[in-house]
Structure formats: C-alpha cells, structure tokens
Structure 1
Amino acid sequence: MAGCSSDVDLWTVPLVALNVTVRRKLGLYLNPKNTVAADWMTVAEEMGFTYLEIKNYEASKNPTKTVLEDWQARSKDASVGKLLSILTEVERKDVVEDLRPQIDEDVRKYLESLQRKSEPPLQVAEVDSCVPRTPERFGITVEDDPDGSPEMFDAFICYCQDDFHFVCEMIRELEQTDHKLKLCVFDRDVLPGSCVWTITSELIEKRCKRMVVVISDEYLESDACDFQTKFALSLCPGARNKRLIPVIYKTMKKPFPTILRFLTVCDYTKPCTQAWFWIRLAKALSLP
C-alpha cells in the first residue's frame, strides 16, 4: 500500500495536506455525540477552543469540518502530527488506525506536490510559456476536486493580516449560523504553492459571486488588498452588479479609499446599527 515515508515528520506537515475525503471521514467519526468515546467537542477543547466557541460550533452542519478549518486558519501548531496526537490523547485510536493509510497517502501527495513546484520548469522549444494551456484552474482550494467541478463561493474576503480576527468573527456569523454562506478566506481555503496573483484573480473572477472588502488603516497599506480591490472593480465598472461590498469594523484615522466612496458601506462602528449589521451583510451576499 502506497503511503508517505516512515521518516517524514508529520508535526512539520500542515493540516492543509489532508484532502476532502479524510476530513469527511473524520466528521463521520467525530460529529455524532457519543457518551462513551470522545467526539468533536473533546477534540476542539484539546485544540484550544473556548467553551463559547465550541457552543457556537454546535450550530454547524459539520462541526468537525468547521473546527478543523478554524484551527488550521488560526493556529501555527495545526499540523497532521498534532491532530494525530490529539486523537490519540482523547483515546480515539480507532480513528487513527482506520484513517492512517489515507492520511499517509495525502501527506505523500502533498510533499510530492511541493517538490514538483520547487523544481525549475522544463523549457520545450515548441511550447510558448506565455500562453496558458489550461482554461480552468483546478486544485487551488482545500475542497477542490481535480476530477470534478471547482469549489465555488458566495464571497471572496479581501483583508490584511491585522484584521484577521474580524474575519474569524465574520466566518462565525455568516458560515456557522442559519445564513449558511460560503466564504473564500485565502489563509484558510487556498492551497499553498501557487502564484498568489494568478490564484487570487481566478477566485475573484470565476469562483466568487461577490467580494467583501474589510477596510481599515492597515488595509490601505496592503499591496495585496490594493490589487484585489482594483481587480474586482475592473470586473464591474460602476458597481452595476453589486460585486463589491466595503465593510468598516473599527474607527479609521486615515481617509476612506477614494475608489470605493461611490459604494454603499456596511459600517460596524455605529452602535445604533450594529444589531442589523450581519443581517444586512448576509442578505447582500445571498443575492443571486
């Protein structure tokens, strides 16, 4: 049976290496509440999630999947080795033993993919490297199926790293509630190893219906945010299809970006309208 080499240190392999099939099977084991064996709640507690966070995850259709995604997004310790260690510590060796062959295979494929991307491309005389040969890109997000349809999203979230804590709140309010929206959060959903600008353009133009722009003083200093915003604006001149939705979640010292001043803003800083903030944003993202 094919698998990763025994000398691979799984503690250095990020959780993103695990594909959709393994994550789905983890959910089948851990989602059901079990009075005897440890379930997803016990695992989430070992990962460092608080009691209130775990209670909020109960509203999720697949809490195991959601916990893994959030852990992967916010923790530097989120590795395949750490996950196996937690499952062993909570006495779910049955899960480890059943899924270990598939986990090893995912790790092997992930490491091979990294190695291929690090190797210099072969230059063939009759191939023009400036012309794209694949009209549609597959295998760029965690849940992409290379043999099927690409993963689609309701909205791409444009943010800088300093605002990531608000993005996590956005995930909880829009994905893990009755709104059931699907957000594209780069640090959580995009597989490593590809050109940032190419993948970002692909996601904004072809995979996401809309883009939420988290505006802050730090956003104004981000080259990546500047590129994403201008690219999205170029796809909808005059905002005719409501593609961009600017969001302000904290008081700014710098002027609001000029290129977004003609768009209606969703403002979280006004206490009198905070109760409607998430409802308005969810409704805007739910439009066809």
Structure 2
Amino acid sequence: MASESSIDYEAIPITALNCSFRKKLGLYLNPTNTVAADWRTVAELMDFTYLEIKNFEKREYPFEKVLTEWETRPEATVANLLSILEKAERKDVISDLKEMIDDDCRKYLERQQRKPVQVPVVDSCGPRTQEREGITLYDDPQGLTPETFDAFICYCQNDFQFVHEMIKQLEQTKYNLKLCVFDRDVLPGTCVWTIASELIEKRCKRMVVVISDDYLDSDACDFQTKFALSLCPGARSKRLIPVVYKSMKEPFPSILRFLTICDYTRPCTQVWFWTRLAKALSLP
C-alpha cells in the first residue's frame, strides 16, 4: 500500500491521524453491523481483551476510546491500522478514507521536516544565528541578555479571549508573572517553528496549554505540545500544565491525560483556579 502513494505508513504513528479522520472512522465502525465487522472486531484484532471490550461498550462512541487506548502502544502505526482493517474485511473503509489518511500522513511528515534539529551551540564555530536573537519585544538587540518568561502560553486563536483573562489575572496582579504570548511578545518576520522551540526550551520555565476543541485541530499547538513533552518525559519538572476553561465535545488529548490539569469549567473550583495556576508557574 505504501508503494501506491509513496508514503511509508509503517514509519507514521497513529497519532498523526487527526480528529476529522477519527470521527469519520467512528461513523463506519461504531454502529452495530450485521453484514460487516464493527468496532468490536477491530478491537479484538488490536488484542484488547473481552473485559476491555465490554467496558468500551459503555461509551457513547466506543471506537474513539479504542483508538485512544491503542495509540499508546508501540505497534500503533498507520500501517498496522490499515492491516487490521483489511483483516476485518473492511476494505470499504480504507477505500473511502484513503485520501484523508494520505493527507494527514503528508501533513505529519511536513511537520517533522519543519522541526528544528536540537544541537548544542558551539561558540567557537562562529556567532549564534541571528534568527534566534532579537525575537521578542524586549530582547536585547545584541543578543547578550535574551528576554525570559515564567511560562509560554500554547493556545489557538479562538481561545484568545481566555488568554487575555490569563494575562489580567497572572501578570497584572500580586502574582506578577511574566507570560510569553506569541501574538503579543514575538516580533514578526521570524520562523514560527524555530522561534517557538527556542522560546519553549530556552526562554520559558514552563508551558501552559489551553485545551479546547479548536486546540485539537491546530498544527502549531500540536507541535508546541509535543516539543515541550519531549523536553520533560514523564513530566518530571512539572514543565507542562494543561488548562481547560470551557466544556469540550471532543475527548481530552490522550498525550496529556497523565498530567493533572487546571479546570476552569467547574464553578465550585473557579475560586482556586488562578491561585493554583500561579503557584505552579512560580515554582523554581
């Protein structure tokens, strides 16, 4: 199948397939089908146990949960998903969704190519590249004292109103924290991917991830989150802090489910929300 589209599906994790594809796949597999294999057959082929499958049945959209659980396994590649669908004799699904799969795979490969290569800076090799100097509003033009922040805010444009509230509550109060908000603090004309990685790794102590349905469809948020996670596997430094400020239709992102969150959606806990978040960002 890779030869048909020149895409190496074996090298692409299932996490490369976005929410739109997952919804569409669920539309094919969630309904109980008497003439074709449904999600239960696929779950069995993914080596889930009888008890696990019975628990999945309690879900409104069981296959989405199956896929979320399966994608944490090392064998969860696009190639293996296609192979499982073939074994389940659901070639109709492969045929109908092939274009979406290829499109998501190409986008994933493009993101991988855009990611900066992490290499140590060697001063003897010459001056540091100018692309990483003078990138924020109050940077030293000479690059001698780069501007630093308490936290990088990972957000999508539709959540910007909440980011404004975050600025008001954390910067303009007794907490006196300094946030890195891309649209406000980063100078125009720089490479988005390179500068984001520079800020997250070198300039910011932590990263706040504003989770929403729109966040799930953002390539920039996806890159920033995965890059930050790669810097602190297992969340040893409490570097990444997920924030949920409104109810979501989509499942919470699986790559962040092992982290404790700051939840603004429950009125009974809102009184502590900003204090908890400020304390987490103030830690050394």
TM-score interval (norm. to shorter): 0.5 to 0.7
Q: 2:131 matched to 1:140?
A: no
**Counterpart Cα distance in 2 of 1:133 and 1:248:** 42
Q: Number of paired residues?
A: 158
Deviation at 1:138, TM superposition (A): 1.6
Amino acid at match of 1:182: K
Q: Give the fraction of aligned pairs with identical amino acids, expressed as a percent.
A: 78
- 1:200 is aligned to 196
Amino acid at match of 1:143: Y
- 1:174 is aligned to 170
**Counterpart Cα distance in 2 of 1:165 and 1:145:** 30
Deviations 1:64-119 (A, max 9, x none): xxxxxxxxxxxxxxxxxxxxxxxxxxxxxxxxxxxxxxxxxxxxxxxxxxxxxxxx
Partner of 1:247, secondary structure, is: strand
- 2:277 is aligned to 281
Pairing partner for 1:151 from 147, 160, 165: 147
Deviation at 1:133, TM superposition (A): 5.5
Q: 2:132 matched to 1:164?
A: no
- 1:109 is aligned to none
- 1:183 is aligned to 179
**Counterpart Cα distance in 2 of 1:138 and 1:176:** 27
Deviation at 1:146, TM superposition (A): 1.9
Amino acid at match of 1:144: D
Amino acid at match of 1:142: L
**Counterpart Cα distance in 2 of 1:280 and 1:135:** 38
Deviation at 1:132, TM superposition (A): 9.1
Amino acid at match of 1:269: T
Partner of 1:238, secondary structure, is: helix
Quick one: structure 1 residues 135 and 235, their matched pair in 2 at CA, closer, same or farther if it must change by over 3 Å? Answer: farther
- 1:231 is aligned to 227
Deviations 1:201-230 (A, max 9, x none): 000000000000000000000000000000
Deviation at 1:134, TM superposition (A): 1.4
TM score, norm. by length of structure 2: 0.54
Partner of 2:173, secondary structure, is: coil
Deviations 1:214-271 (A, max 9, x none): 0000000000000000000000000000000000000000000000000000000011
Q: How does 1:18-33 map onto structure 2 within 5 Å?
A: none
**Counterpart Cα distance in 1 of 2:202 and 2:126:** 16
Amino acid at match of 1:139: G
Partner of 2:166, secondary structure, is: helix
Partner of 1:285, secondary structure, is: helix
Deviation at 1:135, TM superposition (A): 6.2
Pairing partner for 2:252 from 253, 256, 264: 256
Q: How does 1:51-200 map onto structure 2 within 5 Å?
A: 134=128, 137-147=132-142, 148-200=144-196
**Counterpart Cα distance in 2 of 1:156 and 1:175:** 13
Quick one: structure 1 residues 132 and 172, their matched pair in 2 at CA, closer, same or farther if it must change by over 3 Å? Answer: farther
- 1:26 is aligned to none
**Counterpart Cα distance in 2 of 1:226 and 1:253:** 18
**Counterpart Cα distance in 1 of 2:178 and 2:245:** 20
Deviations 1:133-175 (A, max 9, x none): 5168220000001223000000000000000000000000000
**Counterpart Cα distance in 2 of 1:132 and 1:228:** 29
Structure exhibiting the larger radius of gyration computed from Cα positions: 2
Deviations 1:178-208 (A, max 9, x none): 0000000000000000100000000000000
> After TM superposition, what 4+ stretches of structure 1 lie above 2 angstroms from structure 2?
none
Structure 1 stretches of 5 or more lacking a match?
1-130
